[in-house]
Structure 1
Amino acid sequence: MSDKIIENNQVTIMGEVASPLTYSHEVFGEGFYVMDVMVKRLSNSEDRIPLTISERLIDVNQDYTGEFIKVSGQFRSYNRHEEQKNRLVLSVFVRELEFVDEELDGAKTNHILLEGYICKKPIYRKTPLGREIADLLLAVNRPYGKSDYIPCICWGRNARYASGFEVGEHVQLLGRIQSRNYVKKLSEAETETRTAYEVSVSKLECIE
């Protein structure tokens, strides 16, 4: 397995476990479980970030809700088929974890480095208050020919810079994983609140 491919997707987060472990799936006899972690921002709001953890890293019979945890790994995606279409599901695939005594301040608790390729034309817009935003979708290569598709959001001068990217351009970025709730309309009478995940970009550069 190439170290280069491991290095192109690096996540470190620290926060409070917010849900019990629940079974997700099995690969080659190894069971994987999911749980959520609440990670503080500098603004004192929080992001609820899902983790995918191997049974080989943690005692899956314990409930860790309320404990503080530090994990490192990769931000991964897969398509889940529902309602006659695919939905992009994102989570942090944990490679290492440790339980810690307390949370640090928000600047040090949520860090991601990605290197990948622009896979659709960035969407640039301005808010009603004039703030510049650009949405990117980054394809990040994984071993064995797989890729993760990571939504990213840029602000201000980074948004203006990103608006000029073409499909296929090779970029590297630093940022943080953030969550936001939105309302999905299921029918004329029915709606559902869902959570979307994306990378809020703080630094961005094009790689030749």
Structure 2
Amino acid sequence: MTDKVIENNQVVVMGEIVSDFVFSHEIFGEGFYMVDVNVPRLSDSSDVIPLMVSERLLDVQEDYKGLNVMVQGQFRSYNRHEERKNRLVLSVFAREIEFVDETPESSKTNQIYLDGYICKEPIYRKTPLGREIADLLLAVNRPYGKSDYIPCICWGRNARFASNFSVGTRCEIWGRIQSREYMKRISDDDAEKRVAYEVSVSKLELVEE
């Protein structure tokens, strides 16, 4: 049963480590640390994706900046309470890490598969240039009654298709993890730059139950 649940959330990313390890939390004596990996896109841009790594998987005291890694794991979420509100924090939970000589410039450097349930009404819109977009929030089950809540963005025909999904609809999604900068208004006179993470969907299918 546990293996089946794990199969519903699969991530593979390849890229360059660009930060030091920063302590996140400890569970049953096992420490978890955050580190950033720069993952190239097919275009000249890239995504900086946060990894959560166990101290039992890697020596987190070492400096790995500039080294290329291939990471297999899951896209996880948790709610962090700040400013009297909950903020959804996303990262790739690393199950396996392998150092590689170089990062190939291909779509295989950033792949994700999710099997979950729509937990919020899809938001469908068009850009000023007429491009169709739909925002989804997917609940992906985890062992022991937990779930991860993953924001997903669909384009074109997929956006129109997904706009008709209702809450509770089960679907499979394939795509990549992307980072996006935005300005968060703190007060009338102040705003700060933040980074949001979401799944850019390349393919999605309904699952009949």
Instruction: Bin the TM-score by the shorter chain.
Output: over 0.9
1:135-154 aligned within 5 A: 135-154=135-154
Secondary structure of the residue that 1:65 maps to in structure 2?
coil
Q: In 2, are the aligned partners of 1:11 and 1:74 still within 8 Å (CA)?
A: yes
Q: In 2, are the aligned partners of 1:17 and 1:37 still within 8 Å (CA)?
A: yes
**Map of 1:93 onto structure 2:** 93
Give distance in 1, aligned partners of 2:139 and 2:67. 33
Q: Which runs of 5+ in 1 are unaligned?
A: none
- 1:49 paired to 2:61: no
CA shift, 1:189, in A, is: 1.6
Give distance in 2, aligned partners of 1:96 and 1:65. 18
- 1:122 paired to 2:125: no
CA shift, 1:190, in A, is: 1.3
Give distance in 2, aligned partners of 1:190 and 1:107. 38
**Map of 1:36 onto structure 2:** 36
TM, length-normalised to structure 2 = 0.98
CA shift, 1:106, in A, is: 3.1
The CA deviation string for residues 45-75 of structure 1, in whole angstroms up to 9 with x for no partner, is 0001000000001011101111101100000
Q: Give the % identical residues.
A: 70
User: What is the Cα-based RMSD across aligned positions, in Å?
Assistant: 0.6
Secondary structure of the residue that 2:194 maps to in structure 1?
strand
**Map of 1:2 onto structure 2:** 2
**Map of 1:155 onto structure 2:** 155
Give distance in 2, aligned partners of 1:16 and 1:44. 15
TM, length-normalised to structure 1 = 0.99
AA aligned opposite 2:55: E
CA shift, 1:105, in A, is: 1.2
Give distance in 2, aligned partners of 1:149 and 1:71. 21
Give distance in 1, aligned partners of 2:143 and 2:167. 22
**Map of 1:58 onto structure 2:** 58
Q: In 2, are the aligned partners of 1:36 and 1:48 still within 8 Å (CA)?
A: yes
The CA deviation string for residues 106-155 of structure 1, in whole angstroms up to 9 with x for no partner, is 31100000000000110000000000000000000000000000000000
Give distance in 2, aligned partners of 1:97 and 1:164. 38
Q: Which runs of 4+ in 1 moved over 3 A?
A: none
The CA deviation string for residues 151-200 of structure 1, in whole angstroms up to 9 with x for no partner, is 00000000000000000000001000000000001011211100000000
Q: Which runs of 5+ in 2 are unaligned?
A: none
Give distance in 2, aligned partners of 1:106 and 1:199. 17
Give distance in 1, aligned partners of 2:151 and 2:130. 22
Give distance in 2, aligned partners of 1:206 and 1:114. 12
CA shift, 1:43, in A, is: 0.8
**Map of 2:27 onto structure 1:** 27
AA aligned opposite 2:123: I
- 1:188 paired to 2:173: no
- 1:112 paired to 2:86: no
Secondary structure of the residue that 2:78 maps to in structure 1?
strand
